[in-house]
Amino acid sequence: MNKQILLTLLLVSGSVLPGWVHSPAPSRESVAIAASTPTMDSGKLVADGRLRKAQVVTTQSNTTQLQEQLNNLDLSSAQGDVGIGVLDLDTGERWFRNGKQRFPMQSVFKLPLGIVVLKLVDEGKLSLNQTVTITREQFVPAWSPILKEIKGDRGQFTVQYLLQRAVGDSDNTAADALVRLVGGPEQVTANLERLNLRDIRVDRLEQQLQPDTVGLTNFRPELVDKQKYEEAVQQIPDAVKKAAMERYLVDPRDTATPEGMIDLLALLQSRQLLSEDSTALLLKIMTDSPTGQKRLKAGLPQGWSIAHKTGTGEDVVGIGIATNDVGLISSPSGRNIAIAVFIAGSKAPLEQRESVMSAVAAAVVQAMQ
């Protein structure tokens, strides 16, 4: 290999912000070579050699502009742990803050879950039209609008409908039904690994995870009622809730890294995970999702769009345990950007956390225009 090309591949600039890593735009020649090389650590251009070749080489002025935009962000207002990943899908340039750190996903996990389900559909192991039965014992607390559609102790729904409810509306009961359908949390993670999607873990059903975050140890089906669930949580001593929250924030289960999530988004966009039909279905569900209107989406100019998945944990003793948004941003001209923002253990109000997210999206867009 030509030494100059090798140096181009390995070059990584210094930190832009504490925790930020910036990868300079590669030359066309270096991207072509990188497409057949193993994944690089800082500033990697490919995920297992499968990211598409860059179509445009970003100019130095563009690079500097993005650095300046990111430098001007006041991330301290999040008052918590912040992880960010940005990938220009047209140039291959990446920027990370705490890119290798694990963050609790909360409902962001429903995106990789959707990919696993649709991969099994592509392989003929599942059908979008097959029905799934949800029983009363499988109802989940916190956020499950689908429960209003169930009369009595059980309901039946198609796989496609559950996908729309889980990924689009972030329904917990619908998500658990899909997790059970594919064989449980461990099978979700195993299938992600089969797709070479690393650093993304699914370990618990929502029915277990949500009570775990607040120290509720005696969850029972009747607590799916919002008022009864809140009353049960209020009866838990603050010291118990605080200990549960602190355990959750350091638990590697049900977490992802910004780097891992950016790789997933890039491979989804480039149609390297799913068939064209399955990719189109999932992206439409993500684009039509009504959640997170004040997060990344709020930072986009008119005419731009985002296919995304949010995740939000409980506020426990004044701490927002997880506030997340990840997605694929598209410009009117067809420019595509993968972005992921995770905020964990925040003392700031929800509105302030969401404002940080919209500011990140606005800064990225401003630099890319």
> Is 162's pLDDT higher than 90?
yes
Exposure letters 141-168 (e unless 16+ CB within 10 A, then b): bbbbebbeebeeeebebebbbbbbbbbb
The predicted pLDDT at position 22 comes to: 54
> Considering the chain, what percentage of its residues have pLDDT values greater than 70?
82
DSSP for 60-74 reads HHHHHHHHHHHHT--
Q: Which of 19-28, 36-45, 118-127 has the highest mean pLDDT?
A: 118-127
The predicted pLDDT at position 205 comes to: 97
The larger pLDDT score, comparing residue 141 to residue 195, is at: 195
> Is 32's pLDDT higher than 70?
no
Query: Could you tell me how far CA 19 lies from the centroid of its own chain?
Result: 19
Q: Residue 41 — pLDDT band, cuts 50, 70, 90? A: very low
Name the CA dihedral angle for 140, 145, 150, 154, rounded to a multiple of 10 degrees: -20
Q: What's at 242, amino acid-wise?
A: K
The predicted pLDDT at position 7 comes to: 35
How many CA atoms does the CB half-sphere of 350 hold within 13 Å?
Answer: 14
> Is 241's pLDDT higher than 60?
yes
Indicate the pTM of the whole model.
Answer: 0.85
CA distance 351 to 279: 32
Rg (CA), the chain: 21
* Paired residues of 156 in beta bridges: 133
Asked whether 206 and 229 are in contact (CB, 8 A), the reply is no
The predicted pLDDT at position 21 comes to: 58
> Is 130's pLDDT higher than 60?
yes
> Is 13's pLDDT higher than 60?
no
The larger pLDDT score, comparing residue 219 to residue 126, is at: 126
CA distance 177 to 174: 5
Q: Express each pLDDT in 324-338 by its tens digit.
A: 999 999 999 999 999
Structure tokens at 99: 């890119």
The predicted pLDDT at position 213 comes to: 96
CA distance 290 to 287: 8
Asked whether 102 and 47 are in contact (CB, 8 A), the reply is no
Q: Average of pLDDT values for 133-159?
A: 93
> Is 40's pLDDT higher than 90?
no
Q: Express each pLDDT in 50-68 by its tens digit.
A: 343 333 333 344 556 666 7
Q: Which helix (H) or strand (E) segment is 133 a member of? A: strand 131-135
The predicted pLDDT at position 66 comes to: 67
> Which domains does the chain show, CATH number per domain?
3-101+272-368 (no CATH), 108-250 (3.40.710.10)
> Is 12's pLDDT higher than 80?
no
The predicted pLDDT at position 117 comes to: 98
Angstrom distances, CA of residue 305 to CA of 122, 147, 219, 362: 27, 30, 39, 12
The predicted pLDDT at position 281 comes to: 98
DSSP for 36-49 reads TSPPPSTT---STT
